[in-house]
Amino acid sequence: MVQFPEQFRWGTGTYSYQVEGAAHEDGRGESIWDRFCATPGTIVNNESGLVACDHYHRYAEDIALLKQLGVQMYHFSIAWPRIMPTGRGPVNQLGLDFYDRLVDALLEAGIEPFATLYHWDLPQALQDELGGWANRETAYAFAEYVDVVTKHFGSRIHNWLTLNEPAVTAFEGHEIGIHAPGARDVRLAWQTTHHFLLAHGLAVPIIRANGDEKTRVGITLNFTQLDPVSDTPEDVAATRFMDGKMHRWFLDPIFRGAYPADVVKHLGDYVPKTETGDAEIIARPLDFLGANYYTRSVIKHDPTAFSEYPSVDVEGVEHTEMDWEVYPRGIYNMLTRLHREYAVPRIYLVENGAAFADAVNPDDTVDDPRRIAYLREHLLQVHTAIAEGVPLAGYSVWALLDNFEWSEGYRMRFGIVYVDYPTQKRIMKASGHWYQKVIASNTVH
Ligand SMILES: OC[C@@H]1[C@@H](O)[C@H](O)[C@@H](O)c2[nH]c(CCc3ccccc3)c[n+]21
């Protein structure tokens, strides 16, 4: 049994496009995910976030679930297309009104809102007019959107995350093409990483200016344990590059003021175009880093690879429904590395969780022992990291609800609460009841 620190904060989360639904309601503009999902063949069963968990209408019921869990914090994202339907210019009051209702209900319930300003749902108009994140202008449009939102919520929301996982939306969305906007262009993908980081840096002072003495700003980056399939120089170099691409390409400009030299060298003339002053904007000091951790990837050299090296499947170990290896030690490695190499002032673990094939019993219960085991094993590693001095201020499980899992659609269930989509009925899973006890006792058995 391990006891967590007195002030440690427990949370959970959802994100706008994955749970809200009401895609055409109250003035919401089209997002690149609406457009991507409308393209046949991009999403399993051609599903979309059109309805999702209908959280837009059921948010009060979902906040009651948060209260039942006893969480102290709740991660959610604000949908840019609800606030500025065409991405720039006119503000949609009904969009602000929804998040007013959500935030006021959270505060009423004594739950700290942790708001992410961008979780991949770019207004489609900016994709059409500017080419989206390929265009530096989009970073400035993001800054305008951030100004509107933080002016409105700055006295009630004190914990802001600018972007969720720029690496994922840059590369899955613009290199691999399995995420919106579905581009497959290596040069463009690397250029978007710079515009995401610029957008982040532009947002930081705006959030502070529109906040108060309690305002705290961060960004959420995702981390995967990366190991070479062998200790040959080629496999080790391939792994080092992927660590650069997925981790150091974002950590270094934010916390060290420059892109990692080894990746810049590898990219050659594929390195993104930057402008004088960008580095200083991107490196503006943060109050905390948000970190997501799920799994390990074992990397193999490939002579034909340039920007993406293949991973190999690890046999004989547990995998989740996403076919992700269950590798709890990786969360410890990630946390201690951040503390050791980047001296991050404070860390929040924003996402950690697993998809398993959950089913409802005849008595309307959901037994998910594998998710409980996954969460327990990772929390024990988290505790070890904290005991070694890592400044981890809180942990948030992904996710509160089963939800729209991007290209996987609804077949992947990450929730500690089951959603029966045809009826929108919520059922707390065994892992939800387990997490409730963890929070109440601040211990993990
Ligand atoms: O895949 C589970 C969650 C998503 O539902 C969240 O929206 C997203 O923030 C998030 N990031 C990661 C790790 C990186 C990743 C993202 C998407 C697909 C595969 C891996 C896992 N997750």
pLDDT at 319: 98
In this structure, which amino acid lies at residue 211? G
The answer to whether ipTM exceeds 0.90 is yes
Domains in the chain with CATH codes: 2-444 (3.20.20.80)
Q: Catalytic residue numbers? A: 165, 351
Name every residue whose Cβ is closer than 8 Å to that of residue 338 and which is 6 or more positions away in sequence: 251, 289, 291, 344, 347, 390
- Mean per-residue pLDDT over the chain, rounded: 98
As a whole number, mean pLDDT of residues 343-350 equals 96
Residue 231's Cα: distance from chain center in Å? 32
Atom of ligand 1 nearest to the CA of 407: 18
Q: Can you tell me the mean pLDDT for 336-342? A: 98
- Pocket around ligand 1 at a 6 A CB cut-off: 15, 18, 164-165, 168, 222, 292, 294, 351, 398, 405-406, 414
Confidence of residue 343 (pLDDT cuts 50, 70, 90): confident
Return the percentage of the chain with pLDDT > 70, whole number.
100
Residue 137: partners with Cβ closer than 8 Å, 6 or more residues away? 130
Provide the pLDDT confidence category of residue 246 given band limits of 50, 70 and 90. very high
Per residue in 352-388, pLDDT (tens digit) is 999 999 999 999 999 999 999 999 999 999 999 999 9
With the most atoms of ligand 1 within 8 angstroms of its CB, the residue from 121, 247, 294, 356 to mutate is 294
Q: Quick: pLDDT tens for 220-230.
A: 999 999 999 99
Q: Ligand 1 atom closest to Cα of 355? A: 2
337 φ, ψ (degrees, to nearest 5): -65, -45
Q: What percent of the chain has pLDDT over 90?
A: 100
The pLDDT of residue 363: 98
Instruction: Give the residue among 143, 160, 170, 158 at the shortest CA–CA distance from 87.
Output: 143
Q: Whose CA is nearest to atom 19 of ligand 1?
A: 168
Q: Rounded to two decimals, what is the model's pTM?
A: 0.98
The single-letter DSSP state of residue 328 is T
Closest atom of ligand 1 to 405 CA is: 5
Distance of CA 133 from the midpoint of ligand 1 (Å) = 19
